[in-house]
């Protein structure tokens, strides 16, 4: 079945996305740099771009850069005066991402900050760097709740918050699962379920990346 999922992803990419030398070059650079192949799929990247465009995002915050593949997709949604800030723990990953973003033509509107995202976000909140129109969280899963809390402090009513890898092959159903990534995903659902500032849902996905999903939320007004 998983092979079929991947084949359908290929069909979607062939029919709806087409060739993309810039993104292909980014993935090749990531592989050459020894980065893990854990980027979103092409179809998921286009989804992120479309959601950013639908929301009219002018300021985007990404938590978890890796090599900048998803960053490029999000940056494509920005107007010319838009800005994207992306946070990455590993200096080497950040350098690969900066090169990929420059090749894609986004060096002028994308900034990569290096360091533990929890610390960077705390400094951003203290400095009043918000609000951001869209926040995409795709970093270490045990910190999901901390990232969510920071996102709420850095957004406004109407902002969109997206979190990747929240289904974990269905393991979120198991309260006894000891995987820290599963524990982090379950904690995220628990936190969102009692958060009065958010309207949220989650969608399961299958494809090149197996069985997983995204949590999607909008910050409430008033």
Confidence band, pLDDT 50/70/90 cuts, at residue 117: very high
Give CA torsion, residues 152, 167, 190, 185, to 10 deg: -70
pTM, rounded to two decimals = 0.97
Tell me the pLDDT of the chain averaged across its residues.
Answer: 97
Residue 21: CB atoms within 10 A of its CB come to 8
Residue 128: CB atoms within 10 A of its CB come to 9
Structure tokens at 36: 């893990």
Taking the domains of the chain in order of start, what are their residue ranges? 2-219
Residue 9: CB atoms within 10 A of its CB come to 19
Is residue 151 a contact partner of residue 61, using CB atoms and an 8 Å limit?
yes
What pLDDT does residue 1 have? 76
Q: Is the peptide bond before 131 cis (omega within 30 degrees of 0)?
A: yes
Give the β-pairing of 83-88 and 59-63: parallel
CATH number given to 2-219: 3.40.50.150
Q: pLDDT tens for residues 25-75?
A: 999 999 999 999 999 999 999 999 999 999 999 999 999 999 999 999 999
């Amino acid at each position: 079945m998983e092979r079929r999922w991947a084949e359908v992803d290929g069909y979607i990419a062939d029919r709806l996305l087409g060739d993309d030398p810039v993104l292909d070059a980014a993935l090749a650079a990531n592989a050459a740099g020894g980065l893990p192949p854990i980027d979103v799929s092409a179809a998921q990247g286009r989804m992120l771009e479309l959601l950013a465009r639908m929301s009219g995002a002018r300021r985007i915050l990404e938590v978890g850069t890796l090599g900048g593949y998803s960053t490029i997709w999000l940056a494509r949604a920005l107007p010319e005066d838009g800005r994207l800030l992306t946070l990455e723990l590993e200096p080497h990953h950040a350098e690969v991402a900066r090169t990929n973003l420059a090749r894609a033509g986004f060096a002028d509107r994308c900034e990569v900050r290096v360091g533990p995202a929890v610390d960077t976000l705390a400094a951003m909140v203290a400095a009043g760097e918000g609000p951001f129109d869209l926040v995409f969280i795709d970093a270490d899963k045990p910190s999901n709740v901390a990232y969510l809390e920071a996102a709420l402090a850095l957004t406004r009513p109407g902002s969109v918050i997206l979190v990747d890898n929240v289904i974990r092959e269905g393991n979120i159903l198991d309260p006894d699962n000891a995987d820290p990534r599963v524990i982090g995903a379950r904690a995220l659902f628990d936190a969102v379920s009692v958060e009065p500032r958010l309207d949220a849902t989650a969608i399961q996905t299958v494809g090149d990346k197996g069985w997983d999903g995204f949590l999607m939320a909008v910050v409430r007004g008033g």
